[in-house]
Structure 1
Amino acid sequence: MSIEEVKYIEEVKNEMKLPGKVRIFDTTLRDGEQTPGVALTVDEKIGIAKKLDQLGVNIIEAGFPASSPGEKDAVKSIASLSLNANICGLARVLKKDLDEALACDVDYIHTFIGTSPIHRKYKLKMDKEEILQKAIFAVEYARDHGVKVEFSAEDATRTEFDYLLKIYKAVEDAGAHIINVPDTVGVMIPRAMEHLIRKLNENLKVPLSVHCHDDFGLAVANSLAAVEAGATQVHVTVNGLGERAGNAALEEVVMALIIHYGIPVDIETKKLVDISEFVSKITGVKMPPNKAIIGENAFAHEAGIHVHGVKEKAETYEPIKPEMVGHKRRIVLGKHTGTKAIKSKLEEYGIEMGDEQLRILYEQVKELGDKGKRVTDADLKAMAITILGRAPEEIVKLEGIAVMTGESVMPTATVKLRIKDKVKTAAKTGVGPVDAAINAIHSLVSETADIELEEYNIEAITGGTNALAEVFVVMSDKEGNKATGRSTREDIVMASVEAVLNAINKILTLK
């Protein structure tokens, strides 16, 4: 998508203070691991760190070394990998924390302390001056040890502006390389975030960064608003993992920066889906199918008018090419599906159908969709093959069937068939409802042809109790004629009956 096509964005970009480039600070291994229920081993952290480095993130916050021996080992192991990204360790404004981070041989330390009234009073129980002095000490101490230093005023967005600016100016003078503005509990709105970052930018010389939480679903929007005001770094996590509702999602921030703002980042976007799936598997946190950029449905189309538009020109219903993020376009079949979507799928399989066959398939797809069933690619393929395999003439046609089965009842099937111009009915028992139905059919057609069942196979195409069942049979007669029959239905008995009748009709047409 060319940004020039969205004139409204172009009209407002002139009012923004956009930076020439934005650095991506990834905290999946630190804040992302704080997702409830997520705990990563050292090897898992190393695996994610390598993926992040291949992706191109600028800083990897590898963990909080002072929090546990295992965390320290993980950070130290990642720092020893000689990755391209800066490896960062988190530390409170305490000498002990800073020493633990420095002992990991990181080249970047992110130090923080709460500054809001609620943090000062209830968590820290410190006054403003004490917090100020501790912030200065931490920055100077880390700076003196030769590492890059980023300072965060935790809960910055609920901190009085005059005090927040005083803290930031003090750490700037102490040598902080970058200042981070955390929206710790996600309380900001985009316009307020833009206003705050603009005011800070007017009073500070060092680059500004933001760390937004998604408590109100605004983490990405607030992060982008900060960039509009001149922030040059954004904290993100893969898949938006993090405390409570999570952090700004890496994949969404990156693609918005590139597409909407035209701001370069060092991310290899084609690897976004790959790292998303990798992190999802390791953490056990599955992404909703409608998740932007990386979700299963991000480039999926069902509605007939959408499919038609996409087939003619992808941009009609896709703002970016799926390949740009390592995704693939999917045509999904259901009750909103049109014939063009079905034709498109059949072309993928190399299956050609006549108009009447296509009409039958279309009606079957619609019927399943109306029942609330999603028609998978495997379902469609099986249904199409079944239709293509039907006998050219229905000499024997099913008029009706009823089955009775249960723990204390002998499985019985009553079958009504139209054989040529005569209607016949028979009831037979069997070891199960399918066997009973086939026995009844055999008894009815025996006068017309002596046909036996040689082979019977059944397979559930997809999972679930409402999965389509595909039945395949081989029938033969005493003259040596053989024919296969196939049917795909939700009802196993009906699928079996249709497959058997299909094979019988093929044999009868040979006579």
Structure 2
Amino acid sequence: VNGIGERTGIVDLSTFVTATHVLDNENLKYDLKMLKSISAFVEKITGIYIYPLMPIMGDNAFTHKSGVHTDGVLKNPSTYEPFSPEMVGRERKIIVDKFAGRRAVMSKLEQYGIKATDEDLLRIIQEIKKVGDERKIVHDTDILDIAEKVLGFKAVTIPSGVDAVLFLRLEAHIYTTSVSRKIKNMKGVQKLYEMSGDEDIAIYASLKNVAELNNLIEDIRSIPGVLATSTRVVLKKYGEDNGNSC
């Protein structure tokens, strides 16, 4: 499982079983949807992190980004996927960034029930590319903000300076430290604790505004194994050299 074996490892179970299943589907009866939970369980008990670029179970295995790529997979998944991610308990993930094309952006807008004309869609894409040039990641909140401006929605005033405590609950089979590693260097994360009780991880974050907090929450929720998040905004801080403490 996960390629773990003596010295440099052995053939990964998920890769081998999936390939065998696809090549000889009629004679082999496996429930491939169990591979995800098996892989996550082994990661948890061994502490050996699943490499993001690993076939089948890696975070990037079913992630699509560039314009031509996303257009092809949305029109015909078999263009870039020899089998559906659902077959192995995974989900397809479309990333919108400065290289995104019309199809990817349209798909993202449709997720939020937003309709745009061809002209407006082009303007939205142009604004997305500007955000992508400034920073690599374009969040859903960025896309929605751009759509609001282009389509004439009423702008929302975003307060500045937000501190928050986030609590995360993970799926039972998930290795907590593997999730912590992905979060600890995210923008705004000041402190991170692995804990006992109903929640598995607590995070103290300090960000410039609510939009950045939303982006952080969105990034955390996209991590495989994160079952639920709960956010508490800090109103006052005590025990620090802070003029607003009391």
Q: What TM-score does the superposition give when structure 1 sets the normalisation length?
A: 0.30
- Could you list the runs of 5+ residues in structure 1 that have no partner in the other structure? 1-237, 393-453, 473-487, 490-511
Deviations 1:42-92 (A, max 9, x none): xxxxxxxxxxxxxxxxxxxxxxxxxxxxxxxxxxxxxxxxxxxxxxxxxxx
Deviation at 1:241, TM superposition (A): 1.7
Q: Secondary structure at the match of 1:328?
A: coil
Q: Is the 8 A contact 1:382 1:470 kept in 2?
A: no
- Could you list the runs of 5+ residues in structure 2 that have no partner in the other structure? 164-182, 189-205, 216-246
Q: Write the mapping of 1:85-234 to structure 2, written as runs, cut at 5 A.
A: none
CA RMSD of aligned residues (A): 3.6
Corresponding residue for residue 313 of structure 1: 76
1:391/1:381 Cα in 2 relative to 1: closer, same or farther (>3 Å)? closer
Q: Secondary structure at the match of 2:159?
A: strand
Amino acid of the structure 1 residue aligned with 2:104: A
State how far apart, in whole Å, the 2-side matches of 1:275 and 1:380 are: 35
State how far apart, in whole Å, the 1-side matches of 2:128 and 2:38 are: 34
State how far apart, in whole Å, the 1-side matches of 2:103 and 2:207 are: 23
Amino acid of the structure 1 residue aligned with 2:159: Y
Corresponding residue for residue 18 of structure 2: 255
Corresponding residue for residue 166 of structure 2: none
- For residue 46 of structure 2, the aligned residue among 278, 283, 304 is 283
Corresponding residue for residue 464 of structure 1: 187
Corresponding residue for residue 143 of structure 2: 380
Q: Is the 8 A contact 2:3 2:10 kept in 1?
A: yes
Corresponding residue for residue 328 of structure 1: 91
Corresponding residue for residue 239 of structure 1: 2
Deviations 1:183-230 (A, max 9, x none): xxxxxxxxxxxxxxxxxxxxxxxxxxxxxxxxxxxxxxxxxxxxxxxx
Q: Is the 8 A contact 2:158 2:210 kept in 1?
A: no
Give the length in aligned residue pairs.
Answer: 175
Q: What is the percent sequence identity of the aligned residues? A: 39
- For residue 67 of structure 2, the aligned residue among 284, 304, 313 is 304
1:471/1:385 Cα in 2 relative to 1: closer, same or farther (>3 Å)? farther
Q: Which structure's relative contact order is higher, taking Cα pairs within 8 Å and 6+ residues apart?
A: 2
State how far apart, in whole Å, the 1-side matches of 2:208 and 2:150 are: 15
Corresponding residue for residue 292 of structure 1: 55
Deviations 1:100-144 (A, max 9, x none): xxxxxxxxxxxxxxxxxxxxxxxxxxxxxxxxxxxxxxxxxxxxx
Structure 1 residue runs of 4+, over 6 Å off? none
Deviation at 1:377, TM superposition (A): 3.5
1:370/1:457 Cα in 2 relative to 1: closer, same or farther (>3 Å)? closer
Deviation at 1:302, TM superposition (A): 0.9
1:379/1:470 Cα in 2 relative to 1: closer, same or farther (>3 Å)? farther
Corresponding residue for residue 348 of structure 1: 111
Larger radius of gyration: 1
Deviations 1:450-477 (A, max 9, x none): xxxx9835569x9416x996558xxxxx
State how far apart, in whole Å, the 2-side matches of 1:368 and 1:243 are: 46
Larger mean CA deviation between 320-329 and 263-272 belongs to 263-272
Q: Secondary structure at the match of 1:347?
A: helix
